[in-house]
Structure 1
């Protein structure tokens, strides 16, 4: 009995110590560390909305009402393009209340918000390892990112830089021109059939057609075949993940087996399996290497275990494939909506395409001559940007924008607010005016370095040349064959799903030229 009593006291002491350590750890994670980070920023005169314990400002973010961008004019829908206050109303409200620089909390994640031109310039030039990808992305808490990419050694990254180099993508662009054109012709043929069935004018929701086009192109570039299943599951994963981004600061939330979490885990597992299936099928030597084969080759030049190699390949494919898919489809959707709304610019682009191509299939040389189409795409990306903010995290205590940023604080540089600043772009900042880019980006506004439609610095979008070629080929072929106007069914409601998308899709009335 005496021995049992001693063992009981020992076990009780161990459990007590363990419980105390857990409580201390949780207190530090949820209360002390966030408070210390905010305190350092407050002492520098940076204010923001007062946070609540555990949830920070998440409740306030959910309660802020967005501005309605639809108004009636002469019985018709009048569309407003300044969508910052609609897409991110809480940031717009706090910016008006606290100025361009303020701090707010997403659970235990402290965010330093900045929306002034110098922040973009500094982030473009920032090469120190003191800042990196935000914690919730690095640690795989966001399912469209992964941690396998972190395990690479120097030999792997030396090879991966070849895969990620702009010249590699330029070569892939030239090699994929024919495929892009063929995929675009498939869309043209489908719409021709729809027009014939409808008797001359078809009311088409264009989103799925353009996503299928982009998915076919990028999956063949990445995997060497049309991997529709991988793309569709990545898209499904995005729809779940985008609803959870703001909640990533609540520790342990992603580990709770809720219905959406279980669905997310299932999709992640299926995507992992499908990509590895492609690895086994396409992992051999090939004279015309696709991106997957280049990634595999880099992973093999390492001392990683097989599990680490698998994670590395899967996460790289996800990081390259999904952004390229979105960067091709979504800007095309918005651009066609704008051209339908502004037929004078639609006519200008169509005339340019006819003059330059003269019945030929678009080539690299011909695309470079399409100045008006380029202006229209740039203006579309200004009004409905792919990325509305640049995000980094202070890996250690660092200085940014004249501010001493504590370790662990995320930095958000708001591009959308700068794209809607009349002091930078002029009084017509909320109007669709591609002419502002008539002399290129440098002539479009007073502070050209704020316009970075594909990101900036070492983390800029790898596939921007690919995306621009894809956009130009698709739009030039569609405009050569059809005229567009907005359907009465179209409801203008931009929404943030990691990038800005039309919430209800885009409905157009499509006629043959």
Structure 2
């Protein structure tokens, strides 16, 4: 009896040691062996990049370069940066540094995630024309940002994505969007009245931080479109989505380190709480409007518009800032709006005739595309152009880098020149694949028609009633918060026309 007992004692620590050993090997495989196999396949084709470390990949180097750039920025802040210069070197200085060292195509790592950086239009074109379902959205979008993006068209792949695209594209054809113009105008009226009141109370002039009001307006548009009588509940959802976006942007650099999203850190606990609150609010609305959005079509459309509202608000904000900074263009666009609309609320036919406003919006989207990157993942081994890319590689294209590349836009690439779009997008640059504010190819944003109409409505209404100039308190500092937005807001001096 004693011998049996004594003989069994070493088995427990051996079992624990075995489990620990297997766990360590698993993490070593995930963090090094599998990623190194991917990197080796790319290196064998002449694609290089910064050497990664075991756990963090290149994250520590990225943070170091960011700190250096912020110190430099703080020292140069008094010089007043140009409002039209590319923000890529300020927000993503490691990409700028690596591009100079390794060229427009290179690889880098964040934890176990391997990224192929692509800023060459020829390869962007290849990605655009690729119709294979083996090239899809990165899986981390659902894993790490699922609370914000859900499992809709922005994150889904394969047959599910094809179904969602077919459903949503039909609902967002221009013929359908035409019928939404009056609804967008109705959502704009409270904003117009609020600013009129602020200007009146200020004796004909007011300093207004426009970005928060424009965000509320865009949320109102979606609430009226999707939630109907549940308007108040819709506003609560957007409030929590904004909080969720801010939290996720702070930890986005750590995407790729296995298990980080499960750690009970303060930020993660807040994310979990907000996620549950958002789900509860949405479920309540679904119950109230069961007949209206119980179909997959209604649910997919609702989610698509919700996901796009933030980018529309940010674009409207940058557009007003640029017009305030360039009064001659503000004057020209206002004259066009007054001539076309004749003091009436805009309808779709009027919006279609606002050619100059369209060019201003297109130039704003060039200088400040709301999405920082166009991302894809190879869901199977595949070939793009002459590059064999292994399964599991994230392909990332920095959109603003393409939009500011003088090779394709000329020496005036950092200048605000809406008339470069006078002959359309094809005539604006040397390669149409160097302009991708709404993405590219089969994954082009399905809601771009809706977004353009919303932008034309709100901007035409504001320009027909107010004159804008940049407030002395404005600090130009684009920030990456999953979208590119003004870090300190956009205060503008607003006067009656």
Query: TM-score with structure 1 length normalisation?
Result: 0.89
Tell me what 2:177 maps to: 173
Tell me what 2:401 maps to: 417
Matching of residues 320-469 of structure 1 within 5 Å: 320-469=304-453
Deviations 1:34-86 (A, max 9, x none): 1111121112111111111100111121122157497667xx87545222212
1:143 to 147, 159, 164: 147
Deviations 1:227-281 (A, max 9, x none): 1000111111000011122201111111110111000000001111111111111
1:121 to 117, 121, 125: 125
Unaligned runs of 5+ in 1: 287-292, 301-312
Moved more, 261-270 or 168-177: 168-177
Tell me what 1:290 maps to: none
1:263 to 254, 265, 270: 270
CA separation of 1:174 and 1:87: change in aligned 2, threshold 3 A = same
CA separation of 1:105 and 1:450: change in aligned 2, threshold 3 A = same
Deviations 1:396-422 (A, max 9, x none): 221124211122111112221111111
Q: Is the 8 A contact 1:180 1:217 kept in 2?
A: yes
**SS of aligned partner of 1:390:** strand
Q: Is the 8 A contact 2:351 2:457 kept in 1?
A: yes
2:492 is the alignment partner of 1:485: no
Q: Is the 8 A contact 1:110 1:409 kept in 2?
A: yes
What is the CA-CA distance between 1:381 and the residue it aligns to? 0.5
Unaligned runs of 5+ in 2: none
Q: Is the 8 A contact 1:324 1:463 kept in 2?
A: yes
Q: Is the 8 A contact 1:139 1:147 kept in 2?
A: no
Q: Is the 8 A contact 1:34 1:110 kept in 2?
A: yes
Q: Is the 8 A contact 2:152 2:304 kept in 1?
A: no
Deviations 1:479-511 (A, max 9, x none): 000000000000000011111100000010000
Moved more, 142-151 or 264-273: 142-151
Work out the number of aligned pairs and report it: 487
Tell me what 2:35 maps to: 34
Q: Matches of 1:397 and 1:153 in 2, distance apart?
A: 15
What is the CA-CA distance between 1:340 and the residue it aligns to? 0.1
Tell me what 1:310 maps to: none
What is the CA-CA distance between 1:136 and the residue it aligns to? 1.0
CA separation of 1:443 and 1:159: change in aligned 2, threshold 3 A = closer
What is the CA-CA distance between 1:453 and the residue it aligns to? 1.4
Deviations 1:282-326 (A, max 9, x none): 012x4xxxxxx1xx31289xxxxxxxxxxxx6xx57852443211
Query: TM-score with structure 2 length normalisation?
Result: 0.92
Aligned CA RMSD, in angstroms, stands at 2.5
**SS of aligned partner of 1:143:** helix
Deviations 1:368-401 (A, max 9, x none): 1100000000000000112232111111221124
Tell me what 1:297 maps to: 295
CA separation of 1:469 and 1:396: change in aligned 2, threshold 3 A = same
Tell me what 1:235 maps to: 242
Q: Matches of 2:305 and 2:436 in 1, distance apart?
A: 21
Matching of residues 70-89 of structure 1 within 5 Å: 79-89=83-93
Q: Matches of 1:92 and 1:467 in 2, distance apart?
A: 30
**SS of aligned partner of 1:441:** coil
Q: Matches of 2:90 and 2:429 in 1, distance apart?
A: 24
Q: Is the 8 A contact 2:315 2:370 kept in 1?
A: yes
Moved more, 137-146 or 245-254: 137-146
Q: Is the 8 A contact 1:142 1:245 kept in 2?
A: no
Q: Matches of 2:338 and 2:14 in 1, distance apart?
A: 82
Q: Is the 8 A contact 1:166 1:462 kept in 2?
A: no
What is the CA-CA distance between 1:466 and the residue it aligns to? 0.7
Q: Matches of 1:470 and 1:391 in 2, distance apart?
A: 26
Q: Matches of 1:426 and 1:153 in 2, distance apart?
A: 39
**SS of aligned partner of 2:36:** helix
**SS of aligned partner of 1:353:** helix
CA separation of 1:100 and 1:278: change in aligned 2, threshold 3 A = same
